[in-house]
A and B are shown apart, each in its own frame.
Chain A
Amino acid sequence: MTIGISIDTLIIQAAQGDLKAFEEIYNAFSGFVYSVALRVTNNKPDAEEVTQDVFMQISRGLKNFKFKSSFKTWVYRITFNTAINKYRHGQRERNRVKAYENEAAAENYYNKDARLIDEEHAEKTVSSLLDKLNPNEKSAIILREIQGLSYKEIADALKLNINTVRSRLKRARESILESARKGVIGHEL
């Protein structure tokens, strides 16, 4: 996330109604928000809805943002809370859309270049791994493995103590190892 003007300046300007400043914030964080939403909910329409919802919450909350915690941590927290809520409330619909997306992806497979296919394969592997986890374990793994946050940063973002973060990561990795041993992940791909 590289921003020309400092994020604090953008926050102040956006809080005063400057939409251009808010767009800069959106450009800096939308990739993260959308990726988390997509990985937690596992379907595009829900991920779009979550992203929209997260940025609407950010827009409303900017006026009251006190700079006591890091903006990034605040965005992480809103994103995970919104995405997990969406995941919990939309399980049935999720399965239906996922089936449709898999069909569409299979149709497009032969029209893509090698790099895109590699990226899609990596994304599918990750999606398949995350599918084995519950939302809490998923959040911890995403923040650790994809965003590269330390235990302390994950604890701050999810409002947990460090030992809870540690035990969620442990359970998540045990589940992934177990699936790998059974060959579940390999067969799904």
Chain B
Amino acid sequence: MNCKRVRELIITDYIDKELDEKTMKEVEAHIKICEGCGAFEKSLIQAAVEPFKGVRDINPPEYLWRRIKEGIERENAPKARWMFSIPRPVFGPAAIAVACAILIITLSVTLNSKNQLNNYIQDQGDFLSSLDPGSSGSLKNSQNGLGTTIEEFFS
């Protein structure tokens, strides 16, 4: 086994004790006689293995469990789903009924406002006619003339 292969094994399977017994012994034997590979093993352990030895799991802050518990309770709480508890076949006729109601309301409002406009014009016409003393009080009568001196002159 050459140094390149030994170092490849040292950095992974050897250091992690994943090698079979035979290969393990071969690597160990090589390290004993090869200064370079021995130094490589030492520096690897020092830099990449030892620092992790004293490290332990860190517990999360206590309030975190309360937050998680609240989240789970919120998710498991029965939701207000009355909208979706209505059977689906009802949705079609209900939509048609709502559309009809909207149409009727719109039409009635439009017609009402047309009547109001006609009444307003009529009222205004009557009012203007009433301002003229020669008029009979109706716009219809004014079509036959207003009975003024100038009209009589040209007639």
Given contacts A60-B75, A151-B16, A174-B11, contact A26 B58 (CB under 8 A): no
- Rounded to whole angstroms, the CA-CA distance of A30 and B49 in the bound complex is 25
Check B57–A59 contact: CB distance below 8 A: no
B68 contacts which chain A residues (CB < 8 A)? Answer: 26, 51-52, 55-56, 59
Check B51–A38 contact: CB distance below 8 A: no
**A48 at interface, CB cutoff 8 A:** yes
B11 contacts which chain A residues (CB < 8 A)? Answer: 169-170, 173-174
Given contacts A51-B60, A123-B55, contact A56 B18 (CB under 8 A): no
From A15-23, A80-88, A93-101, A102-110, the one touching the partner chain is: A15-23
Chain A contributes a number of interface residues (CB within 8 A of B) equal to 44
Q: How distant is B79 from chain A, measured CB to nearest CB, in Å?
A: 15
**A76 at interface, CB cutoff 8 A:** no
Interface residues of B in 1-41 (CB under 8 A from A): 8, 11-13, 16, 18
**B72 at interface, CB cutoff 8 A:** yes
Cross-interface CB contact of A122 among B48, B51, B60, cutoff 8 Å: B51
**A136 at interface, CB cutoff 8 A:** no
Interface residues of B in 75-108 (CB under 8 A from A): 75-76
Which chain B residue has the least Cβ–Cβ distance from A176?
Answer: B48
Check A180–B43 contact: CB distance below 8 A: yes
**A70 at interface, CB cutoff 8 A:** no
Q: How distant is B60 from chain A, measured CB to nearest CB, in Å?
A: 4
Given contacts A17-B76, A177-B47, contact A119 B64 (CB under 8 A): no
The 10 A-B residue pairs whose C-beta atoms are closest, nearest first, are: A31-B57, A145-B52, A180-B47, A34-B60, A176-B48, A122-B54, A35-B57, A173-B48, A125-B51, A55-B68
By a beta-carbon cutoff of 8 Å, the part of chain B in contact with chain A is 8, 11-13, 16, 18, 43-44, 46-49, 51-52, 54-61, 64-65, 67-69, 71-73, 75-76
Q: A126-B51, A177-B43 are in contact. List 13 more A-B contacts (CB 8 A).
A: A19-B72, A19-B73, A35-B58, A48-B60, A48-B61, A48-B64, A56-B68, A118-B54, A126-B55, A151-B16, A172-B48, A179-B47, A180-B43
